[in-house]
Structure 1
Amino acid sequence: MPVTHRPIDFCNFTITYTHPGQGDHVNVYIWVPFDDWNGRFLGQGGGGWAAGWDMTLAPSVAAGYAVAITDSGHQFYPNLADMSDIRSWTLTSPGNINWALLQNFASRSLDDLPKIAQQVIKGFYGEPAKYSYWQGCSTGGRQGLMSAQRYPKNYDGIVAAAPAINWATFVVSELWPHIVMRKVGYYPPYCEFEAIRRAAIEACDELDGVKDGVVAAPGLCTFDAKSIIGQPFDCEGDARKISAKAAEVTNAIWEGPIHDNGRRAWYGIPHDTAFSLKSPFGPPNGLALTICDAKNENCKGKPFAMSISWIRDIVMRGQEIDLSDMDEEAFWNTLRRSVSEFASVISTNDPDLSEFKAAGGKMITWHGLADQLIPVNGTSDYYEKVLALDPEARSFFRYFEAPGVQHCMGGPGAAPDTVLDTIIKWVEQGIAPETLDAATVPADKAEAAKHRPLCPYPLVAAYVGGDLAESGSFECAESFDVKKRHTEL
């Protein structure tokens, strides 16, 4: 949602409540504009272990929404660094899970939020909101899907971006790069990972018919890191060559966790995805983050904070464990335990959306193909299961992939920024989105944004000629060879 920069005049309600017998205290924060209310309620999602971000309230109320978030009964987290230790609320005592707060975070508070907010809105305006919407990314995307699956009448429209579905599986699988590095006995420095990634982009960039530094056709990219073993690269002024061990590690990370019998446990990351990135919410993050000395040598792995906290503080019930030293057998055991004990609580991967459909709900999901934290194939896998159960699901649920876009934002690709407006048109005017308008964020102020259409899965935006910076130069098609087909015709 584009930010409106103007003074805002609003009333801030904070509602604190408990579920009898649970010993919890949940806070709901509701901001309602005094003037220019658009008649809509907007529930906003969180990220990581935060059930809601307070920084999302002001832009939404400035845009005319009565907006609300929940903390699901535990503290807000201002950045990812604070999310590595959650034992203050996940355990009632050493070895015992606080099921009340875990269930609040997973689902229960999501049902409470719109019910409480609508009561406040009715009391303030004399009438409830005419339409209810949800918007969130990452954890917020998972929350949106949870609302559609378990509480199908709460929202008329849901935007669930880069959703953290399959939680019990993928959060443990995020540890896979470190399992691989330990097994191979080598932790590549960032510069070596980056050199391999750039070589992959060079090899696969034009598979979509456009050279733009973005791998828009990751399914066609078969680049093998072993093909560049010995190739020179620069590591902050130090001349080096791609090592065989770095190539082995990288291929395994791209492939994702595979059992010895060849059965896939989960997905890897696409070839153009960064192995680690600086984060606006804290220290560098990524699934293959390594920390090295001043010479970019003697590197060690640093697992992602969410993996650490989920495995140590919930799956292992608060046991002190160094996940950077976990071996492969322990990884598989942990993954099985996580899925068997917690998938039904938090994974949000039920493809049966029949009640949401019957209630008249509409949902849009989009996911960046260069997401460095949540493998995008998990989302496409979920959507395909929804379609297998209901071949007509596109009538109420559409999924879009954004080439070159990282987790929720960032990257060289074009990301959508008016999805909330799009879901509103679908709900209130019956205009289903044939594409999502997307644009790049220029790194240089002198640079102009590039515009691309995002097409409903499994269609892709094929280049048909014209200015690469304009959406009209692309059309949605089943494959990227549309330009060639048009020429032949």
Structure 2
Amino acid sequence: MKIQGILVPVLMTIGWTIASATPTMAMTQSDPTQRCEALNNYGMDAAFVTSTRVVEATDKLPAYCEVRATALPSISIETRLPLENWNGKFYQAGCGGWCGMLVRGDEGGRWVNAMSSGLARGYATATSDSGHHGLSVVDADWADANPNGERDWGWRAIGETYRVANTLIEAFYGSENGDSIFQGCSTGGRLAHMASLRYPENYQGIISGAPAMNETGLAGAALAWVVKANTGPDGEPILKPGKDGLIGDEVMKQCDGLDGNKDGLISDPRSCTPDLSVLLCEDGADTKQCLSQAEIGVVNKWYQPAVNEAGEKLFPGGIPAGSEPFWWLWLTGNEEGAVPLNPLFAQSFGAYLAFEPDRGPGWKTVDFDFENDPARMSKAAEMFNSDSPDISKFRAAGGKMIVWHGWADAIVLPEQTVKWYDEAAAAAGGEEALNENVKLFMIPGMDHCGLLPGPGGIAMESIDPLTALEHWMETGEAPSTIMANN
């Protein structure tokens, strides 16, 4: 008989027990490097370790034991265990887009959907690929006829990553972790809300950024609305790259100052209704410096929410005014050849995730039926959506949640987050009651997850929700800001 290729007599001589497949050596060996190596053949229910290695300290991160594992059937997980000065806590990071690329957040060198900010503070950390391998976070062809993969991406990878990581933590340190924190943005934000709903007692703290919590409404109806609005009779985009600056300058001219403060920011896009008719091209005008009637029509539709023929909203809001500096990445592409991402996400979602059975690669976003397709996405909504305002179990467990969203987000449209917050406050018995557990921070001028710098350089590096959350969890004092260095 063999267990993971190691002969039973050998197992017994190094202190393993066949019944539990648990290496007591990992708990008793004083050398952390040897404890790390001992995890290499660690056995768990429905999961197994695939590799371990010691990663040396850098000027930013401590030395740690990297453990890669697979939770069946196919969730790849990486856990990082500080070799020294573990703070006794756990920090789990989400993933972006359709995920599928393990530790992508850390490799990008930023803190959203990454383990680094937790590891730097002494947390044991973990993340996953959400249950599949993808060549790109914008391509969901992995989901084609793959219900297990869809389930794992939808919600199951959250709990399995927590389970595997905490099993490894106990084996490595000889004790369970204390508080656990989940952090994610975009899809990671959707997962953060899902964690509060499906695993309300696992996480004492949650950081949710730009949460794509209404996945079917967003990637289905809202993004299809955006794509169809900009698709001409010839199938080509109506508004092409290069006019985002022209539009953005006019919008800022009209809307900056509506809050009484001319600061280059639109503090609440809901108060701004741009009139772009002033940019209409006159006969003989340089068309690069003006807009055609068709282009104005596209932008006016973008600013509005997706609706059906009866005028019923299929998503709470449209593209926010003030997001124009970021349109080249999300909506239009640029003159250097960058392809906009919103149409790619819309295409993949409709083809592989939205419907049952899958429509497949032959389906096109312009085929989306605003009358009937929302109802056809009901099974996807059950699996993917985490916009329920009833987080009573998380609140009853004493959990604390910080939600943040940029008001200039042109892909995960921010009015959904405000709608969720208002509904959560009503469900909790009022905003004051909700604020015992949940705080919302809407940030003017910030791009999606703060990826691109906005006015004044505002970006993800401008905020520090982890420090705010830690202080809240330790003292009970809710934060009034998440801005860095406050």
Corresponding residue for residue 446 of structure 1: none
Larger Rg computed on CA atoms: 2
**How do 1:83-482 and structure 2 match up within 5 A?**
83-87=137-141, 89-91=142-144, 97-172=145-220, 173-182=222-231, 187-230=238-281, 239-266=288-315, 267-274=317-324, 277=327, 285-286=329-330, 288-289=331-332, 304-315=343-354, 317-321=358-362, 323=364, 326=366, 330-338=369-377, 340-390=378-428, 391=430, 392-409=433-450, 410-412=453-455, 414-415=458-459, 416-438=462-484
Aligned-pair CA distance for 1:231: 7.3
Contact kept? 1:188, 1:290, Cα under 8 Å: no
Corresponding residue for residue 98 of structure 2: 49
Corresponding residue for residue 464 of structure 1: none
Aligned-pair CA distance for 1:313: 1.6
Contact kept? 2:227, 2:343, Cα under 8 Å: no
Which is further off, 31-40 or 4-13? 4-13
Which whole-Å deviations, capped at 9, do the CAs of 1:193-251 have from their partners, x for residues lacking one? 4312220111111112222221113122122222432379998xx75422111111111
Q: For 2:296, give the aligned amino acid.
A: A
CA distance, structure 2, for counterparts of residue 273 and residue 239 of structure 1: 20
CA distance, structure 2, for counterparts of residue 248 and residue 242 of structure 1: 10
CA distance, structure 1, for counterparts of residue 284 and residue 81 of structure 2: 55
CA distance, structure 1, for counterparts of residue 383 and residue 138 of structure 2: 21
Which whole-Å deviations, capped at 9, do the CAs of 1:132-153 have from their partners, x for residues lacking one? 1111111111111000011100
Identify if the C-alpha distance between structure 1 residues 7 and 394 changes in structure 2 by more than 3 Å, giving closer, same or farther: closer
Aligned-pair CA distance for 1:426: 1.0
CA distance, structure 2, for counterparts of residue 221 and residue 277 of structure 1: 18
Q: Name whichever structure is richer in strand by fraction.
A: 1
Q: Percent identity?
A: 28
CA distance, structure 1, for counterparts of residue 371 and residue 342 of structure 2: 16
CA distance, structure 2, for counterparts of residue 219 and residue 438 of structure 1: 26
Aligned-pair CA distance for 1:259: 2.2
CA distance, structure 2, for counterparts of residue 232 and residue 143 of structure 1: 51
CA distance, structure 2, for counterparts of residue 71 and residue 360 of structure 1: 29
Which is further off, 314-323 or 209-218? 314-323
Contact kept? 1:184, 1:249, Cα under 8 Å: no
Which whole-Å deviations, capped at 9, do the CAs of 1:321-374 have from their partners, x for residues lacking one? 3636x25x6354333322x22111111011111100111101000000001211
Corresponding residue for residue 15 of structure 2: none
Aligned-pair CA distance for 1:302: 7.7
Q: For 2:182, give the aligned amino acid.
A: W
Q: For 1:368, give the aligned amino acid.
A: G
Aligned-pair CA distance for 1:305: 1.8
CA distance, structure 2, for counterparts of residue 422 and residue 178 of structure 1: 38
Which whole-Å deviations, capped at 9, do the CAs of 1:51-106 have from their partners, x for residues lacking one? 663412345323311100122221155xxxx234332x313xxxxx3221111111
Q: Secondary structure at the match of 1:190?
A: coil
Question: CA RMSD for the aligned pairs?
Answer: 2.9
CA distance, structure 2, for counterparts of residue 426 and residue 231 of structure 1: 57
Q: For 1:162, give the aligned amino acid.
A: A
CA distance, structure 1, for counterparts of residue 379 and residue 245 of structure 2: 37
Corresponding residue for residue 17 of structure 1: 71
Which is further off, 145-154 or 412-421? 412-421
Contact kept? 2:98, 2:138, Cα under 8 Å: no
Aligned-pair CA distance for 1:406: 0.3
Which whole-Å deviations, capped at 9, do the CAs of 1:94-122 have from their partners, x for residues lacking one? xxx32211111111121122222112111
Aligned-pair CA distance for 1:131: 1.1
Aligned-pair CA distance for 1:33: 0.7
Residue segments in structure 1 that go unaligned for 5+ positions in a row: 19-23, 92-96, 279-284, 295-299, 440-470, 472-489
CA distance, structure 2, for counterparts of residue 436 and residue 7 of structure 1: 23
Contact kept? 2:91, 2:115, Cα under 8 Å: no
Q: TM-score, normalised by structure 1?
A: 0.76
Residue segments in structure 2 that go unaligned for 5+ positions in a row: 1-57, 107-113
Aligned-pair CA distance for 1:187: 0.8
CA distance, structure 2, for counterparts of residue 302 and residue 60 of structure 1: 29
Which whole-Å deviations, capped at 9, do the CAs of 1:30-68 have from their partners, x for residues lacking one? 001111222210001110011663412345323311100
Identify if the C-alpha distance between structure 1 residues 305 and 40 changes in structure 2 by more than 3 Å, giving closer, same or farther: same
Q: For 2:68, give the aligned amino acid.
A: T
How many residues get paired? 406
Q: For 2:213, give the aligned amino acid.
A: I
Q: TM-score, normalised by structure 2?
A: 0.77
Aligned-pair CA distance for 1:10: 0.8
